[in-house]
Amino acid sequence: MNLKSVLANLYYLLIYADGKVNDREVVLGKKMMAAEGMDEVALQKHIDLLKVKDNPTILKDSIASLRKLDSKQQVRCIAWLCVVANSDGFMDKEEWMFIYKIYHTELKLSLDDIMKTQKDLNKIIHGRSFHSLGVIVD
């Protein structure tokens, strides 16, 4: 599984983590995937394939694939998840638990590295940088 597929899997799991799909998360997810080189049609096809699988299997496969990526790509994936999770103004508890499990428990990634990358990604998407905790950083 390549970076785009892993990211699309994680995005799918994230938007369903709190039991409700938010329109802002969907819009930002499309922007995220476009920034990573996957168009809307390819993303929708990927998501349609995921809908017939169970989420624990998708997560297990995604984590296994994440481990095969280099640490910079792993950090980028998690930072993207933070950006999407915060697109509606806050990060839901279930979304945070999902992200935390992956970056801290499974991959042992640095939160500082994730926050720095997230700041760069927000700049790409929004034209300004801020962290997913809702704090604007100039």
Degrees (nearest 5) of the Cα angle 43, 49, 50?
90
* Neighbouring C-alpha atoms within 13 Å toward the C-beta of 24: 11
Q: What is the mean pLDDT of residues 106-124?
A: 93
What is the pTM for the complete model shown? 0.88
Residue bearing the bigger pLDDT, 88 or 119: 119
Q: Which domains does the chain have, with CATH numbers?
A: 3-126 (1.10.3680.10)
Residue 14 · residue 84 · CB < 8 Å: yes
Q: What is the mean pLDDT of residues 123-131?
A: 71
Looking at residue 137, its pLDDT comes to: 37
Q: Which long-range contacts (CB under 8 A, 24 or more apart) does 123-126 make?
A: 124/35, 125/28, 125/31, 125/32, 125/35, 125/83
pLDDT per position as a tens digit, 74-104: 999 999 999 999 888 888 889 999 999 999 9
Looking at residue 128, its pLDDT comes to: 64
